[in-house]
Amino acid sequence: MAVIGLDLGGTKLAVALFTEEGSLLYKERVPLTLLQGEATGALIADRITALKNRFPETAITGAGICVPGIYYAKTGNVWCPNIKGWENYPLGKRLSEACGAMPIVIDSDRACYILGEAWKGTAKGCNNAIYLSVGTGIGAGILSGGAVVRGQHDIAGAIGWMALAQPFQLPFKQYGCFEHSASGEGIARYTRELLDTMNDYNGLLRAIDAERLKAQHVFEAFEQKDVLATAVIRHCVQFWGMAAANLVSLFDPEKIIFGGGVFGPAQKLIPDIREEAAKWAQPVSMPSVLFVPGSLGADAGLYGAASLVLQKAIPYPNHDQ
């Protein structure tokens, strides 16, 4: 018996086949190559069919899909801002038509990240844990009492809009205060702003074309103790720490798990983030909360998507016991 997991991103579709115990049988990454609208839906359906054909002797019990945006459970539609034509795309209907009787389950990337870590990663055995994803954007998958917190409109966990600084700035309307300030894009953006004001700075980041500057460049300069890069990363540590403190105070989790593209290079900063969070968080809760990196890396969404199929059959968290 096996399940399919699919993780849709802005530039790729990752596809995997797992046993129902969580062993990885097969994995591939398919570039989207500027696909949009219906073409992206067709690609997902095609990869599910291709995987079934590749493993004809395997009983596949369903497919779970992780989407980078909002999944509306009542309609089966999705909103994915990085995919043109997916402002309210009927993905559930599209896949049901293509896949026939095979069960199809869809959820947001935020939910899938924490579910993946709860199934086979750092949050295994936890009933209360939060996955704080920092990449191009920022979001949180929140597990509370063994269930994912979804909210009235399936948007819970959109913590990029957490208000962490004053005064209000117009860009916060599009990205949110937290995401504008401390996402991967935010790191590059803030660095450019400082480059424009620090006329006497002639360090490592001055040599990089500002339009091509990315968070990776800032982390590389930070490792070499560049003054500007250090200021930028310390600025982000403050934001990550304040956000984590708010999550601790609101949800009293066992663990906060840091993942996403930035927590690669930022993993070594987790102790500093915890120290910052301790200044702000509820003081009884905070000492018992573990701040840890995710253990599934870029595959957290794949594992979480696959686990959606198992949860539909057997309610979480008992399917892994």
Same-domain check for residues 19 and 159: no
Query: In which band, very low, low, confident or very high, does the pLDDT at 174 lie, cut at 50, 70 and 90?
Result: confident
Residue 121 lies in a domain: no
Residues 101 and 53 in one domain: yes
12-19 and 24-31 as β-strands: parallel, antiparallel, unpaired?
A: antiparallel
Looking at the fold, whether 71 and 135 belong to one and the same domain comes out as no
Same domain, 184 and 196: yes
The encoded tokens of residue 246 equal 């708010």
| 247-274 pLDDT tens trace | 999 999 999 999 999 999 999 999 999 9
Q: Does 318 have pLDDT greater than 60?
A: no
Burial 254-267 (b: 16+ CB within 10 A, else e): bbbbbbbbbbbbbe
Whether residue 191 lies inside any domain: the answer is yes
pLDDT category, 219, cuts 50, 70, 90? very high
Amino acid at 178: F
Strand 138-144 versus strand 129-134 pairing type: antiparallel
Are residues 308 and 290 part of one domain? Answer: no
Let me know whether 180 and 282 are in one domain: yes
Q: Are residues 136 and 243 in the same domain?
A: yes
Contact 3, 116 (CB under 8 A): no
Parent domain of 85: 2-116+298-320
Q: Does residue 291 sit in helix, strand or coil?
A: strand
Q: How many residues appear in the chain?
A: 321
Distance CA 254, CA 128 (A): 6
Considering its fold, how many domains does the chain have in total? 2
What average pLDDT is seen over the chain? 94
152 and 281 part of one domain: yes
Pair 52, 103 in one domain? yes
